[in-house]
Structures are given as C-alpha cells and as structure tokens.
Structure 1
C-alpha cells in the first residue's frame, strides 16, 4: 500500500513539474500567426478576435494605428470619432483636476476631508490623497449590495447618502479598495475649491488646453455615439449622472490620445506632478494605484493605466508606457469584450515582445 501511494505521489509531482514547465515554455503568445507591418498585424489580431469597438495606438508622438470595428449603433459603424461613455477612464481627468488645484496651492493632497465636508463620517482621518488612491476605506456605492439604480438621474449628494452611514472598510491609508464614492467626493471638492461646476472645470482646464473638441458630458442629438451591447443586444439604460466625477465623461479615442499627449508635454500638470500621479500610493495584491492611475509593469516597462466599464455594455482599457512613448487605447461597446486582454496583446504586437499568459491579467 505504501508503495502504491509513493507511486501516486511521484506521478502527481511529475505532472505538476511537467505542467509548470509546459506553462513556462508554451504559456506565452508571440503572435506568430500574424504577418505584415505592425499596423497590419494589429488589424489581423483585432479581426481574429471579432473585436467590437475602436482602437488607437500612438507611439513617439505619432498615431501608429486607429480603426473602428463592428457596430456602434444601428446602421452606425464604430470609427475613431465615435463617442463613448468612457466610464472610469474619467477618474484620470478628475485626478488631474485635483492636482492642477494643488499646483496652484488651492489645496493639498494631505488636506483632511473634514476641511470640505466636516459632517461626513470619519472626515478628519481621510485625506484627499486617500480619495485619489482608493485608500480611504469608504465603501463603493456601486457595490452590488447597494442595488444601485443606474437608470435614474442622480445628484452627487444623493450618491453619497447611499454609503454615508456605513462603516469604513479599513483604517484610511492602510489598504486599497476601489471606491467610486471617493471620486464623487473629489468632484465636489473640485467644485468647492474652483467655484465652478465639475463639468465646466474639466472643459475649461483639461478639454480646451488638450484640444479635445469632441469630449463632453451630454451626447448631442444625432451624434455618432456608441450604444452599449451585452452579448450582441442593447444593454440596460444608464443615466450618465449615475457616475458623476467617477465616470461621466463622453469622449473618443482621438480625444483620449490628445489628453495623453497633453500629459506627456506637461501642458496640464508639470512633470513632477505627473510622476507623483504615477507613483504607487496604495496597494492590495494584485492591484497598485497612484493618483488616478493603476501603476503597473507592462512587458517589462513602467506604466500607468486604467479600466472603464458600465453594465450598459462598455468595456475600456488604456495603458501608457512611461519609459517609452507608447499609449494603447481600447474602447469597446460590447460587455463581453475583455479590453484589458486586448490591450495587453496589442502592446505585445507593437513591442514585438511575447506575452506571457499571466501578463494579460496583471
């Protein structure tokens, strides 16, 4: 009997070792099935994936690739100028706005929340920096437990009331937990400090200097706008006010590329601030977060990025490599698309560097 168990144990260990070795040897994609120029390989990959959405890739300050795939709406094809609800990609804009006000010495990231919302629970222990880095411990109002109604029109204060009386998830600054609620608070702080509505501030201080003429907060009647899809069917109705400063911006891949270039040229915030935003301020495996950006290692390169999505049928991902001038923007209006995986593979193709299986996830 002992001999039998010994044989079984050896067999299991052999399988584990062999499986691990196989993963190391075969568990990466070098996209050897693609051919032609880099743009041609990108197009082949996206077509093979039956991707629905729009992609723009910029390298060294120039657009390397941009193209739309599939339907944006009935009788409307996705294209580089298609409007999308960009969801949580908006958080980077909110963070830039806060840092602009910090550069003007109108606030600091160490300011306690109590300075702006003295009646908010635990406001004396939560700072602006905690809100920016999702390390405040404030519960996320989009947690499924709250059964949030995306379809109705919301005021920011009504959103805050959803979680106002709930306990913090942890002591501020001691962990990471993604909180849309924190970014709603940041939007209200921008309004109080600047004296302008959040949307007006973003339009004047980010859209305008970046040249983003096709970005907005309300979709004009008859505009070429993408409708969200879930498994090929229209997604549930979502009112844009349900996200406020956590995700209510409407934009295009072309305008997002202009935002990226404005950041790289230090037109919105200075170089020191950009580095601060891309520095890890909170983490909980496998996530690391700076101010308005996830901080990442992407194929051996220092990078920042962000995801964005709505249950109405939008899945987005942007990554910005810091030590090489490369930005990959993926916007999709199909909920089943894994935009992060798409983004990682596109980055792999551009860099001509094989992608390990786990690199699609981190």
Structure 2
C-alpha cells in the first residue's frame, strides 16, 4: 500500500514538472521567427497571420505604424483611411459624452434611471454609473432569447422596450454583465439632457474637437467603406440603427488615433475624469470594467481597452497602455479574426516582451 502511494506521488510530481517545463518552453511566444526592425516584425506577423483589416500603432502622440491588409470590399484595398462600422468601440464615445455632461453639472453619475425613463421597472434603483459600468443588471437586448432583428430599422425607445418586461439579472451595482441596452439608454439620456440628437452631439462635441473629419453615422452614397465578411463571404445586412449609442459610429483607424490623442491631451474631458473612466467600477471574473473601457493589466502594464464586433462580419480591438502612452488599434472586416489576440501579439512585439499564452485572452 505504501509503495503504491509512493509511486502515485512520484507520478503526480513528474506530471507537474512536465507541465511546468512545457509551459516554460511552449507557453510563451518571443516571436523569434520574425526579423528586422520592430515594425518590420509587426508587418511580418500580420502577413503570416493572413490578417484582413487595418492596424495602427501610436506612441507618445506619434503614429509609428499604420497599414491595411487585404480587401475592404471588392477592388477596394484596406487602408488606414478605410471606413469601418466600429461597433462597440462606440461605447467609449458614449461614455465620454456622458462624462462631459457630468463635468458641466447637467447630470450626475448618481442620477436614477427613473429620472429619464419614468416607466422603466426598478429604474429608481439603477443609476447612470450603473449603465456606464455594465453593472445595472438590465438584460442585453442582443441576447438570443430576445430574437432581435438586426436587419430592420429601429427606434432606440423600441430597443429599450425589448427588455422592459424582463427581470433584472442581478441587484444593480452588485455584479457585472455586458449590456448593450444600458448604452442605448445612455444615448437617449444624452439627447434629453443636451437637447441634441445623439449623432449631432457626438459630431459637435467629440468628432470636431478631436479633428475626426472622416467619422460619421451615415456613409454618403458612393463613398467606399469596408464590407463585413464571414469566412471570406460577405456577411448579412445589419441596419445601423440596431446599435444606436451602443455601436453605430463609422470611423477609420486614423480617426480613432486622433480620438485617443484628444483623450490623452485632455481635449475632451479633464485628466481627473479620464482617470475615472479607467478605474474599475464593476467586475466579475475575469472581467473588470470602468466607464466605457475594460480595465486591464496588459503584460504587466496598466491599460484600458475595448472590443467591437458586428454579426455582419467585423471584429475590432483597441488597447491603450496608460504609462507607456502606447495605443494599438486593430480593425478587421473578417469575422473569424481574433482581433484581441492580434492586438496582444502586436503589443508584445512593440514592447519586445514575450507573451504568455494566457495573456492573449486577458
């Protein structure tokens, strides 16, 4: 019996040693297969990955790398000026707009939702802060059980009504669950407080001061733009109104870098408010969320970031490393692209720091 236990213990120890050795040997990628300068390595990595889309990398206010790969649409190559529906990257814009109004004392983060939506169930227990941090408990209207039709034109109030008869998923402020519904409601609050349409407010108070002259909500007829793909086939039609303030901005990699620079230079909101955006206000493992940003540690560096995606065939990811003043923007018009993984590897190459396999996901 003692010999059996001893053999079992030795077997377990050997397995643990083998697993640790495998992780040390195979669990991280130093990109040793790439050669040349850092940005030659970036280009090689994206080419090897058969990436389709656009990448822009900026540091300390300077664009270090900017290039498109593959086609945006038939006979239209991807480039840094290609127009993309940026999907949930729009949430950061919505959050900035709300916080601008907070700075102007036109609303408060502690305002109850019932102040703006008197008939919304339990609205008195949900605050604007909860909406911003996805800690409201309001169900996401894009969950499969709501059978939401992306292809039709939507009024944002009707989007909110989609979930208004549903129970909250948890007590407001007690957990985290991503809710596009909450950001649709924030867009309507911006309209009520500012007296402008959501689109007009964003154009005047964010696009213009950021010099985002190629960002919009509707693409004029005949203007080239990226077309979504799923496994190289054109994706299904999605009406832009189906996302509203949760994701209906159309922009370019170049303009997103201008937005990033405006935030870093405190053109849009104060330094204190920007720091408030990047603080964790809600969490549920493995997620942490501030206001309009996921709050993260990227390869040991303090960072914020956000994904964006449309079922019509788009996958995006933006990461901002705070202390390094480094921003990595990945926009793709191919649904099968793992934009976050690409973003993390690009960050690894730029930092010249090997990346562990689990860091691709964090």
SS in 2 for 1:163: coil
Matched, 1:74 2:74: yes
The residue number in structure 2 matching 1:266 is: 266
User: Deviation of residue 22 (structure 1)?
Assistant: 1.9
Shift of 1:114: 1.1
Partner of 2:98: 98
Post-superposition Cα deviations, 1:49-89, rounded to whole Å, max 9, x if no partner, equal 00000000001110000000011101111001100000000
SS of the residue 2:123 aligns to: coil
Distance 2:2 2:239 in 1: 66
Which stretch shifts more, 136-145 or 19-28? 19-28
CA-to-partner distance for each residue in 1:114-140, whole Å, 9 max, x for gaps?
111111011100000000000000000
SS in 1 for 2:208: helix
5 Å matches for 1:322-361? 322-361=322-361
Q: Deviations over 1:273-310 (max 9, x none)?
A: 00000000000000000000000001111110000001
1:132 counterpart residue number: 132
1:181 CA drift (Å): 0.2
User: C-alpha displacement at 1:188, in angstroms?
Assistant: 0.2
Distance 1:188 1:236 in 2: 27
216-225 or 125-134, which moves further after superposition? 216-225
SS class of match (1:44): helix
Q: Where does residue 24 of structure 1 map in the other structure?
A: 24
Quick one: distance in 2 between partners of 1:235 and 1:9? 54
Report the secondary structure of 2:125's partner residue: coil
Shift of 1:147: 1.6
Separation (CA, whole Å) in 1 of partners of 2:183 and 2:131? 7
Alpha-carbon distance, 1:203 to partner: 0.2
Partner Cα separation in structure 2 for residue 266 and residue 33 of structure 1: 40
Aligned pairs for 1:57-72 within 5 A: 57-72=57-72
* Cα deviation 1:148-171 (Å, max 9, x = unaligned): 111111110111111001000000
Give the Cα separation in 1 of the matches to 2:160 and 2:169. Answer: 16
Task: Name the counterpart of 1:52.
Answer: 52
Tell me the distance in 2 between the aligned counterparts of 1:236 and 1:64: 35
When the two structures are superposed, what TM-score results if normalisation uses the length of structure 2?
0.98
CA distance in 2, matches of 1:202, 1:190: 10
SS at match of 1:94: helix
Uncovered stretches (5+) of structure 1, i.e. residues with no partner: none
Q: Which residue is equivalent to 1:119?
A: 119
Q: How far is 1:9 from its partner?
A: 5.7
Give the match for residue 108 of structure 1.
Answer: 108
Partner of 1:187: 187
Counterpart of 1:249 in structure 2 is 249
Mean alpha-carbon deviation: is it higher for 209-218 or for 18-27?
18-27
Take 1:227 and 1:5, find their aligned partners in 2: how far apart are those partners?
62
| Post-superposition offset of 1:13 | 4.3
| C-alpha separation in 1, matches of 2:153 and 2:6 | 65
Most deviating of 32-41 and 251-260: 32-41
CA distance in 2, matches of 1:40, 1:323: 24
Whole-Å Cα distance in 1 between the matches of residues 314 and 232 of structure 2?
A: 12
- Is 1:41 the counterpart of 2:41 in the alignment? yes
SS of residue paired to 1:210: coil
- SS of structure 1 residue aligned to 2:307: strand
> 1:186-220: per-residue Cα shift (whole Å, max 9, x none)?
00000000000000000000000000010000111
Give runs of aligned pairs for residues 87-236 of structure 1, distance below 5 A: 87-236=87-236
